[in-house]
Amino acid sequence: MSVPTLTPSSQTSTVVLPSTGSLGTEADGSENTIHYPLGVYVKPGADLFDTNFMTGAADQVAYTFKKLGGDVLDVELTVGNIYAAYEEATLEYSYIVNLHQSKNILHSSLGATTGTFDSDGQRTDSKSSANVELKYPKFKFGYAKAVMDQTISEVGLGGTTPVYSASFNTTASVQDYDLQQIVSSSAIDGTSLGADYTGSVGDKRIIIRRVFYKTPHAMWRFYGYYGGMNAVGNLSTYGMYADDSTYEVIPPWHNKAQAMAYEDAIYTRNSHYSYEIKNNNLRIFPMPSVVTPKKIFFEFTIENDPWSDTSGKDSGTEGVNNMNTLPLANVPYKNINSIGKQWIRRFALALSKETLGEIRSKFGAIPIPNNNVTLNGTALISQGREEQKNLRDELQKVLDELTYQKMTETQSAVAKSVQEMSRTYPYFIYTG
């Protein structure tokens, strides 16, 4: 049987990567935007639109053609494959850099204003032009400040936790009073002096902070008729009352310390009642036989969910809470320097190798007369994925060495080294 004569319509591969790329015939390159799966950097009118990106993608075609030996053997890739790889490499670089920046700024950004994003990862809110991903944020105590705020609220020195006041009328021969019930009922009808918490309690537990169960102290007796801050009666003649004729100059804290001691003395000698609180139940000692004092005041806070704003102000619970809500958009292509652009080229090449490997793996071998041609699809896939992993690791390793914390440690080490070196400098001896 004779061998048939084949007359194919074409003797070249249908898909062959050209040696160069092109921006297209339109001035803005829009003819080639169909080659980019996401089109993040090529949408005309968008914040990230950049003709330089398309120039870089076109140059990547020539780079890939040479690196994969296109001038020796056909490379079964399209220009669109290279453009897609270049876009993915740019977005991957932006992703890793933003992860690095998240490590830098999250501690100072908790509670800050977040943003809203479109499908490309670009901000769509009113502050979309802020370009936070390009800014150097100021250091803030962040989470530590929130912890300190709650701490000072607990010890009664300030903070942002609302502190409410309420009161109740004492009843003769009644020793126990349920403060939780008193507050809860008054929060419903709003008739008490603590009406500013109306509707805020419900079934939430209150925390009693202070109870005022004694009359105000006669502080004027300590300071005397003619004294005041920075002056006090001579301690040698100091007794139950301030000495109005002999004075010593003292700092204000000394005044306050003696005033506190005097208050405690008044309380010890003159107080009629003491109390204890268990599970928000107030018990007065001893049991009052007559109604005095007629009204007892107390201060309390309401236990709320940690993510609730209770002060009527924006305290940051609706802001940044983790890496996901940081207002970081994609890094603009024009702001990626030469280091980043070379990383993008190498990563795009690795992606192209993987794609070419996937294509060639569809055919394990191609039959030719009296033999088969084995394709290297599997090897290309393995090589491309390994290069991608190495590039990611390389970039992440470098960025981890450039966190603000690491740079501070490096500067500290340099400063110590300079001090050690300066000790070896010879001292000049001047003779006159």
Band of the pLDDT at 113, cuts 50, 70, 90?
Answer: confident
Q: Does residue 232 contact residue 242 with C-beta atoms inside 8 Å?
A: yes
Q: What is the per-residue pLDDT for 128? A: 57
167 in the same domain as 269: yes
The per-residue pLDDT for range 204-250, each reduced to its tens digit, is: 888 888 888 654 444 444 444 444 555 555 454 444 445 455 556 67
Query: Which range among 110-124, 172-186, 364-378 shows the weakest confidence by mean pLDDT?
Result: 364-378
Q: Is the pLDDT of residue 321 over 60?
A: yes
**Alpha helices per DSSP H over 190-309:** 220-223, 252-270
Long-range own/partner contacts, residues 390-393 (CB < 8 A, 24 or more apart):
391/343, 391/346, 391/347, 391/350, 392/92, 392/96
295 in the same domain as 212: yes
Write the single-letter amino acid at 296.
Answer: I
328 in the same domain as 222: no
% of the chain beyond a pLDDT of 90: 28
Please report whether residue 358 resides in a domain.
yes
Please report whether residue 424 resides in a domain.
no
Paired strand residues for 248: 232
Cα–Cα–Cα angle for 330, 104, 149, rounded to 5 degrees: 120
Distance CA 222, CA 261 (A): 10
Token representation of residue 123: 């901000």
Distance CA 26, CA 45 (A): 15
Count of structural domains within the chain: 2
333 in the same domain as 298: no
The per-residue pLDDT for range 140-177, each reduced to its tens digit, is: 887 787 788 878 877 777 777 888 888 888 888 888 99
218 in the same domain as 187: yes
Q: Is the pLDDT of residue 64 over 90?
A: yes
Q: What is the per-residue pLDDT for 339? A: 96
Nearest to 211 by CA among 246, 267, 168, 153: 168
Q: Is the dihedral angle over the CA atoms 41, 43, 49, 55 positive or is it negative?
A: positive
Band of the pLDDT at 95, cuts 50, 70, 90?
Answer: very high
Please report whether residue 1 resides in a domain.
no
Please report whether residue 144 resides in a domain.
no
* Higher pLDDT pick, 42 / 269: 42
Band of the pLDDT at 396, cuts 50, 70, 90?
Answer: very high
The per-residue pLDDT for range 303-317, each reduced to its tens digit, is: 877 777 665 555 667
Distance CA 19, CA 349 (A): 15
Q: Is the pLDDT of residue 137 over 80?
A: yes
Q: Does residue 279 contact residue 271 with C-beta atoms inside 8 Å?
A: no
Band of the pLDDT at 390, cuts 50, 70, 90?
Answer: very high
Domain of residue 231 covers: 159-302
Q: What is the per-residue pLDDT for 206? A: 87
Candidate ranges 9-13, 19-23, 271-275, 394-398; pick with highest mean pLDDT: 394-398
Please report whether residue 175 resides in a domain.
yes
Band of the pLDDT at 55, cuts 50, 70, 90?
Answer: very high
Q: What is the per-residue pLDDT for 312? A: 56
Please report whether residue 7 resides in a domain.
no
Q: Is the pLDDT of residue 370 over 80?
A: no
Query: Which range among 24-33, 162-171, 177-186, 393-402 shows the weakest confidence by mean pLDDT?
Result: 24-33
Distance CA 5, CA 7 (A): 7
Please report whether residue 379 resides in a domain.
yes
Please report whether residue 350 resides in a domain.
yes
262 in the same domain as 215: yes
196 in the same domain as 116: no
* Higher pLDDT pick, 374 / 335: 335
Query: Which range among 38-52, 277-291, 376-390 shows the weakest confidence by mean pLDDT?
Result: 277-291
Q: How many other β-carbons are positioned within 10 Å of the β-carbon of residue 416? A: 10
Give the predicted TM-score (pTM) of the model: 0.70
Distance CA 188, CA 197 (A): 9
Q: What is the per-residue pLDDT for 89? A: 97
184 in the same domain as 290: yes
Paired strand residues for 316: none
The per-residue pLDDT for range 280-305, each reduced to its tens digit, is: 898 887 776 665 667 888 889 888 77
290 in the same domain as 163: yes
The per-residue pLDDT for range 346-368, each reduced to its tens digit, is: 999 999 999 999 998 887 666 66
201 in the same domain as 272: yes
288 in the same domain as 180: yes
Q: What is the per-residue pLDDT for 6? A: 56
Distance CA 136, CA 108 (A): 12
Averaged pLDDT score across all residues of the chain: 80
108 in the same domain as 62: yes
Query: Which range among 78-82, 251-255, 393-397 shows the weakest confidence by mean pLDDT?
Result: 251-255
Long-range own/partner contacts, residues 191-195 (CB < 8 A, 24 or more apart):
192/166, 192/167, 193/165, 193/166, 193/167, 194/164, 194/165, 194/166, 194/167
